[in-house]
Structure 1
């Protein structure tokens, strides 16, 4: 995005001269500000441009509509499963994946993300594909690898058991008034998952 495209906003205010990542971040922040202010139904490209203090050209050149813009804004804010570093050790890998899930859950406390999830089926599906699906897939792979190494009991590497950790973290996020903490994630791994998975005797 060039600075020339950062023209005065529709409201007639003075645009801030930005380009590249700085302009992109201002636009994404404006998306969340507008979601909190007017909800998904009231979200418009014009409103985002005005809130970001930019022209409409930078938006329409990159995003055809508000759904495409919202998707990229969410993708930018949510943690990425590809960034998880697995080391081939059961406890460390369980912690890495559940910390990723916990970080994503913490972001869903943001009223703007709650609005997006509740009012846009496409957004809800995207967040599921971005967070829930890779979490469960990686946990099942971790269990299968650990079973092959003899770290867990034979037959424990099942989709059902791979869902236990995410279910506990997600339930706590939905029902507890306090924020998810790293201490809680460690407790889930040490007090729930490992005793459930380790060979008996």
Structure 2
């Protein structure tokens, strides 16, 4: 009988899996988040990510100079894009669309791995601000200005401060009662707070 091949050593490096393009990229990014949870920010290494993603080190070093650049790209990939927010020109619908975008980002940033990265990486914190917080304020202000131009809200109601009310309520809810932060809460913010605050007879 032929001699069976030797069993792999338990500490042997994972055999690389052949993937390319987006499939490889997604595996690497997922490995980043898995490693953040397993070994923390300080313990994360390029070699560890390569092993977790079952790929060689070369694809990582060809694209990312160090783990900081890799973590930042992984976070950027996971964040929702403001460009995907669909606005219709209907005030209530547009307010909900923007708050749902903001809510989706809040859900992602509550993930433990993202929190670890955010707390240890100044550029990650700034990226989240640029990708989520600032676009949300800008979009809401545009929604209010367009509604004011249409005559849907009282004159002078479209202000930067008014544009912060909805996101501030979402942030507070996320900090104090995240289990109650859902789409129904967003609807109540729009219907019970924003629209009454903006209406012409307010």
| TM-score > 0.5, shorter chain as reference | yes
| CA distance, structure 2, for counterparts of residue 61 and residue 175 of structure 1 | 43
| CA distance, structure 2, for counterparts of residue 196 and residue 166 of structure 1 | 15
1:30 is the counterpart of 2:31: yes
SS of structure 2 residue aligned to 1:178: helix
1:152 is the counterpart of 2:156: no
RMSD: 1.4
1:112 counterpart residue number: 113
Structure with larger Rg: 2
| CA distance, structure 2, for counterparts of residue 199 and residue 43 of structure 1 | 55
1:167 is the counterpart of 2:168: yes
Number of matched pairs: 192
Report the alpha carbon displacement of residue 11 of structure 1 after superposing the two structures with TM: 5.2
Report the alpha carbon displacement of residue 179 of structure 1 after superposing the two structures with TM: 5.4
Q: Which runs of 5+ in 1 are unaligned?
A: 1-9
Retained in 2: the 8 A contact 1:106–1:179?
no
| CA distance, structure 2, for counterparts of residue 154 and residue 40 of structure 1 | 50
Report the alpha carbon displacement of residue 137 of structure 1 after superposing the two structures with TM: 0.5
Q: Which runs of 5+ in 2 are unaligned?
A: 1-10
Deviation per CA, 1:16-55: give whole Å up to 9, x if none: 1111111111100000001111222222211111111111
Q: What TM-score do the two structures reach when normalised by structure 2?
A: 0.91
Report the alpha carbon displacement of residue 67 of structure 1 after superposing the two structures with TM: 1.7
Report the alpha carbon displacement of residue 180 of structure 1 after superposing the two structures with TM: 2.3
Deviation per CA, 1:112-145: give whole Å up to 9, x if none: 0111111111111111111000000000111111
SS of structure 1 residue aligned to 2:154: coil
1:5 counterpart residue number: none
| CA distance, structure 1, for counterparts of residue 141 and residue 56 of structure 2 | 46
2:185 counterpart residue number: 184
